[in-house]
């Protein structure tokens, strides 16, 4: 009797969990994580090789632009299949776009294209920001120099 009661409760909880996850994750999500206590967007990005831009873009409408509305247990998508850059660099004090691009063996244009949150003269980098440093282009916003 007790066993089936608890089994039934587990089924209900699992159903609720999948509904919540289904509401949260965009179509084509190929990686997801559950927010843990103390997480910040850039810490999640750094831990899972997701750019700051991509995490925000994929979770538009779920995370606000300042990323101050994360909650423990929230499920976030990290990337969409085919548009999921997982080669990243965490900006350190002293890094420049030139040094980051050179270290990654990519052009500045590729770096700027894959990270549309950077301005074209790259003066808005900040320590802890996570950049996509892949040589493949993942973002469909044309950078014009």
Please report, as ranges, the residues that interact with ligand NAG according to CB under 6 A.
21, 25, 29, 32, 48-49, 82-83, 86-87, 138, 140
How far apart are CB 43 and ligand NAG at their closest, in Å?
Answer: 13
Distance in angstroms between the alpha carbons of the first and the last residue of the chain: 70
In terms of CB distance, is 6 or 81 closer to ligand NAG? Answer: 81
The answer to whether 114 and 101 have CB atoms below 8 angstroms apart is no
How far apart are CB 9 and ligand NAG at their closest, in Å?
Answer: 21
In terms of CB distance, is 6 or 47 closer to ligand NAG? Answer: 47
Structure tokens at 133: 């440093």
Find the angle CA(64)-CA(44)-CA(137) to the nearest 5 degrees: 85
| Element holding 138 (H helix, E strand) | none
How far apart are CB 15 and ligand NAG at their closest, in Å?
Answer: 13
User: CB count, 10 Å around CB of 128?
Assistant: 15
How far apart are CB 19 and ligand NAG at their closest, in Å?
Answer: 10
| Element holding 90 (H helix, E strand) | strand 88-90
The answer to whether 78 and 84 have CB atoms below 8 angstroms apart is yes
In terms of CB distance, is 17 or 102 closer to ligand NAG? Answer: 17
In terms of CB distance, is 3 or 140 closer to ligand NAG? Answer: 140
């Amino acid at each position: 009797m007790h066993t089936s009661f608890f089994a039934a409760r587990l089924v209900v909880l699992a159903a609720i969990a999948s509904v919540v996850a289904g509401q949260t994750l965009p179509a084509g999500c190929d990686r997801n994580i559950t927010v843990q206590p103390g997480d910040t967007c850039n810490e999640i990005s750094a831990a899972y090789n997701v750019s700051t831009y991509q995490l925000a873009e994929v979770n538009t409408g779920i995370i606000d632009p300042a990323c101050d509305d994360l909650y423990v247990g929230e499920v976030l998508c990290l990337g969409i299949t085919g548009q999921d850059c997982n080669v990243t660099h965490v900006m350190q004090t002293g890094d420049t776009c030139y040094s980051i691009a050179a270290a990654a063996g990519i052009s500045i244009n590729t770096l700027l294209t894959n990270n549309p949150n950077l301005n074209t003269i790259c003066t808005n980098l900040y320590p802890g920001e996570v950049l996509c440093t892949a040589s493949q282009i993942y973002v469909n916003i044309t950078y014009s120099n």
